Structure 1
Amino acid sequence: MLTSKISKVGKVVICGAKGVGKTSILEQLIYGNVTLDTEIHSTIEDTYVASVDTGKGSRDTLRIYDTAGLQGSVQLPRHYLSYPDAFILVYDPSDPASLDMLGGIKADIDKFKDKKSQRKCSQFLPQIFVIVIANMRSRQSSRSANSSPLSSPQIQQQQTDAIESNLTRANNWCARERIKHYTVNAMERASLYEPFVQLASRLYPPQTKSSFPQLRQLTQKTSKVDNS
């Protein structure tokens, strides 16, 4: 809605292995201009701003920090752990190594939270949210592969089985870690909305009314007396 009022800003870091499509997801989500022919350069560091309508009557702003893709044993730089309200971990289900890398990133996030809670009273620490996104970019590459005369139904089935196996493994891991898992395709903009809307909703839940109806009634009566 054009009349929605922008109210809050959440800081989000998106990270994962190199080449899993982090930048493509953000470019498609915000601008909607990514195609199979779009050339996406490797990211060093970039910032995107997304205005998200969560249906609460106001728009919440996500400031998303796009990070360089990780390779091998390279860890997420420590300064990214200190300020975000949320993390988005991205992997390619056709690449099991990109999924394995998320375990190390999540462990680093947890270690930083533990150290921070030891320095401060944990009840005053804001909750840090983590979600996982499977970018089905392999669907696009498989289409071109299927047109190759060297491809065969057996190879195609093996690729499909491997992807399904990795998705199952990711779902099981996310269930153990109690984090949300989403499956998207960076080429399909509509598939990208749910994880970001849900993340904004979790970062900024709607204000709940008082659980003490007597207090509300007293407040209303006092207001009427003051106005009389």
Structure 2
Amino acid sequence: MGKTLKLVVCGSKGCGKTSILEQLIYCNYSNSTSSKPQFPHTIEDTYVAHIESERGVKEKVRFYEIGGSSDIKSVSIPKHFVVGADAFVLVYDTTDLGSLSYLDAVKREIEKNKDRKDVLLFLLLGNKKDLDASSRTSELAAKFVNKERIFRHFSVTVQDRQSLIDAFVAITTKITTPPSKSGFPFVKKDPK
């Protein structure tokens, strides 16, 4: 286990960011049928977990959840979340087309606040796959992934914890996999 990884979780209000993290880390999910949300609206929150990568190494991951809104014009990602982030987890509601449009504004805001040396890695999570998703939302999500060079797209639901684990193991493995080749030659060439 090396350094602590920094994952920033973003998405519109009510798309399920808190539910995803609570189920992933604490197995904290109840299938309540009330119209009241299980978790209150988040402004900012931090979680810490150990995730085992596909290589079998446990990595310490710090999740920074940023509360969203439903208004695209009010997207604001503070620079301190962007600088030094290892990856961004973009969450949208598969039943709400507006939540996917919100992520487009989020991604632009992240790119505006990044340092030149930062390499941005994005994971897209379509939450609530257990509900009737709009085919238009699925179509736009596929276009978003291709256009914005998203690392991976997962359809998840908090009712299926394994779908969440698979997504976060994939991003943790991607972040911690060392490059296969060095950019520097190790052989000293003789000058002629």
Instruction: State the match for 2:190 in structure 1.
Output: none
Q: 3-state SS of the aligned residue for 2:124?
A: strand
CA contact (8 A) 1:70 1:76 kept: no
Q: Counterpart amino acid of 1:92?
A: D
CA RMSD in angstroms comes to 2.4
- Pairwise CA distance, 1:90: 0.6
CA contact (8 A) 1:137 1:186 kept: no
Q: Which protein has the larger Cα radius of gyration, Structure 1 or Structure 2?
A: 1
1:136 corresponds to 2:131: no
Q: Matches of 1:88 and 1:94 in 2, distance apart? A: 18
Q: Counterpart amino acid of 1:16?
A: G
Instruction: Say how many residue pairs are matched.
Output: 179
Q: 1:189 to 1:138 in 2, by over 3 A?
A: closer
Q: Matches of 2:180 and 2:147 in 1, distance apart? A: 29
Identity of aligned pairs, percent? 35
- Pairwise CA distance, 1:57: 3.6
Instruction: State the match for 1:100 in structure 2.
Output: 101
Q: Matches of 1:44 and 1:111 in 2, distance apart? A: 21
Q: 3-state SS of the aligned residue for 1:8?
A: coil
- Pairwise CA distance, 1:206: 4.1
CA contact (8 A) 1:7 1:58 kept: no
CA contact (8 A) 1:25 1:186 kept: yes
Q: 3-state SS of the aligned residue for 1:14?
A: strand
Q: Matches of 1:12 and 1:176 in 2, distance apart? A: 22
Normalised by the size of structure 2, how large is the TM-score? 0.83
1:192 alignment partner, one of 164, 169, 173? 164
The 5 A counterparts of 1:53-72 are 53-72=52-71
Q: Counterpart amino acid of 2:122?
A: V
Instruction: State the match for 1:204 in structure 2.
Output: 176
CA contact (8 A) 1:11 1:83 kept: yes
- Pairwise CA distance, 1:111: 2.3
Query: In the TM superposition, what whole-angstrom CA distance separates every residue of 1:24-53 from its partner, at most 9, and x where no partner exists?
Result: 000000111201228211112111112111
- Pairwise CA distance, 1:126: 4.3
Instruction: State the match for 1:148 in structure 2.
Output: none
The 5 A counterparts of 1:52-201 are 52-72=51-71, 73-79=73-79, 80-113=81-114, 116-117=115-116, 125-136=117-128, 139=131, 160=132, 163-179=134-150, 180-201=152-173
Q: Matches of 2:144 and 2:67 in 1, distance apart? A: 24
Instruction: State the match for 2:8 in structure 1.
Output: 13
CA contact (8 A) 1:47 1:66 kept: yes
Q: Matches of 1:208 and 1:176 in 2, distance apart? A: 26
- Pairwise CA distance, 1:208: 4.7
Normalised by the size of structure 1, how large is the TM-score? 0.71
Q: 3-state SS of the aligned residue for 1:134?
A: strand
Q: Counterpart amino acid of 1:74?
A: S
